[in-house]
Amino acid sequence: MQEYFKAFRIHADKEFKRAGIESLTINDLSPGEVVIKVEYSSVNYKDALAGSGQGRILRASPLNGGIDLAGIVVSSDSDQFKAGQSVLVNGSGLSEVHDGGYSQYARVPADWIVPMPAGLTAKTSMVIGTAGFTAALAIQRLQDNHQTSDQGPMLVTGATGGVGSFALQLLSQLGYEVVAMTRKKDQHDYLYSLGANEIVNSDEVKIDDVSMHKGRWGGAIDNLGGETLAWLTKSVKPWGNIISIGMAGGVNVNTTAMPFILRGVALLGVTSAACPQTLREQVWRKLGDELLPEKLDQVCTAEVNLEKLPEAFSNLLNGKIHGRQIVCL
C-alpha cells in the first residue's frame, strides 16, 4: 500500500474554513477495522453542501468528503471481510462523523460495510449510491404499508434529482403509473425516458387553507417538503402513502389532521443515514436483483475526479445537472 494518497478533505469546525485535495496516510483516517481501496464514490446533495461550505453537515472536523464509497478490501481485522473482497458503504456517518469516500483509501467499521451485491459492480453501485438506495427504501416503505398500483398514479416531486430519477424508474418498473413533477421544461424528454407517464409543473401546488383537495394521487414520493408536502397531504386519495425524503422546498409543513383522519392518508419518513444494517443489506441485495434499475446509463450524466469536485458541487447546487454524478478515484 502506498504511503501517501489523495483525498478531498473538508475543514469545518464551528464554521466552514476550506476544502480541497490533500495528501494523507492511513493513520490520518478515522478508525475502523477494514481498509478499503476506493474505486468510486458519488456526488450527493449533502456532499455538495458540505464540500462547498453552503451547509452544516460535518459534526467532526477535518473529514474527507463523500457519503458513498465502493472498492476492494485491502486489509481487515474483522472476520466478516477479507482482502480482495468487493464492498460498498453508504451513509452510516461517512463525511458527517467519519472520513468519507472522496479518498483513494478509506478505513471504516466492519459493521457499516455491505458486501457487493451480485449484479452490481463498484461503478454501478455508485451510480445508484445513496440516491438510489434512498429511493429503494422509499419503495420498501410503500410496499410495507400496502401501496398498490391500482390505487392511482404515484407522484414523484423533484423528479430530475438523483432520488427522484431512481424513484421514477423503479416505480415504473414495478408497474405503477408515475407522474413526475418538475419546473425544468428542458428535462421532459429525460423524465419520459425513465418511465414517466405524465409530467406536471411545480405550479400545480396550491397554497391555501383548505382542509382537503380532491383526491388526485394514489400516493407520492416527495423530495421537496414545505408547501409541496402540505399540498400532497391534502391531495392524496384514501389510504394512500406519502414518503417524505427531502426538504429542498422547506422544513415547515402547514397542513391539517383531516386527510389522516378522514382518508387514512399515511405520511412516512425515510432516512438512509440511520437505516438499520440488516435492512440496508436487504435493500442493496434487491437493488442488485429484482430492483436493479434498468436505465443506469441514462441516470449517470457525469463522471468526475477529485480535482473536478468543486465544479460538480456547483453544478448540483445550481440546478445545472440532472441525474447522478459519480467520482472515479
Of 231, 249, 269, the domain-final residue = 269
Do 137 and 253 share a domain, yes or no?
yes
Residue 254 and residue 135 share a domain: yes
Contacts of 254 by beta carbon, 8 Å cutoff, 6+ apart = 227, 230
In a domain, 13, yes or no: yes
Say if 123 falls within a structural domain: no
pLDDT in the model for residue 2: 56
CATH number for the domain including 187? 3.40.50.720
286 assigned to some structural domain: no
* Tens-digit pLDDT profile for residues 224-247: 999 999 999 999 999 999 999 988
* pLDDT at residue 172 tops 60: yes
Range of the domain at 201: 130-269
Number of structural domains in the chain: 2
3-state secondary structure of 102: coil
Predicted confidence at residue 298, as pLDDT, reads: 87
Confidence of residue 3 (pLDDT cuts 50, 70, 90): confident
Q: How far apart are CA 141 and CA 222, in angstroms?
A: 13
CATH number for the domain including 316? Answer: 3.90.180.10
Please check the confidence at residue 1 and state whether its pLDDT lies above 80.
no
CA distance 75 to 45: 31
Residue 1 burial by CB count (10 A; 0-12/13-18/19+): exposed, middle or buried?
exposed
Residue 176 shares a structural domain with residue 215: yes
Query: Facing residues of 40 across strands?
Result: 70, 328
- Is 275 among the domain residues? no
DSSP code, position 5 = E
Output the nine-digit C-alpha cell for 119: 449484479
Asked if 99 and 9 sit in the same domain, the reply is: yes
Same-domain check for residues 139 and 98 = no
Name residue 236's beta-bridge partners.
217
pLDDT in tens, 109-168: 999 999 999 999 999 999 999 999 999 999 999 999 999 999 999 999 999 988 999 999
If pLDDT is split at 50, 70 and 90, which confidence band does 322 have? Answer: confident
Q: Which residue shows C-alpha cell 478515484? A: 329
Query: Parallel, antiparallel, or unpaired: how do β-strands 114-115 and 86-90 relate?
Result: antiparallel
Per DSSP bridges, beta strands 154-157 and 5-12 are unpaired
Rounded mean pLDDT of the chain?
Answer: 94
Cα–Cα distance, 237 to 216 (Å, whole number): 6
228 belongs to a structural domain? yes
| Distance (Å, whole) CA 97 – CA 46 | 13
Contact 1, 24 (CB under 8 A): no
Q: Reduce the DSSP state of residue 302 to 3 states and report it.
A: strand
Q: Let me know if residue 84 belongs to a domain.
A: yes
d(CA 65, CA 20): 10
Helix (H) or strand (E) holding 325: strand 324-328
Cell of 7: 483525498
Quick one: cell of 290? 429484482
Do 112 and 144 reside in the same domain of the chain? no
Could you tell me if residue 75 is inside a domain?
A: yes
- For every residue of 259-292, DSSP letters joined together read HHHHS--EEEE--STT--HHHHHHHHHHHTTTT-
Same domain, 108 and 172: no
Do 183 and 261 fall within a single domain? yes
Q: Is residue 276 part of a domain?
A: no
- Contact, 287 vs 122, CB < 8 A? no
| Average pLDDT of span 56-69 | 94
- 297 pLDDT more than 80: yes
Are 96 and 193 part of one and the same domain?
A: no
Of 254, 269, 284, the residue that ends a domain is 269
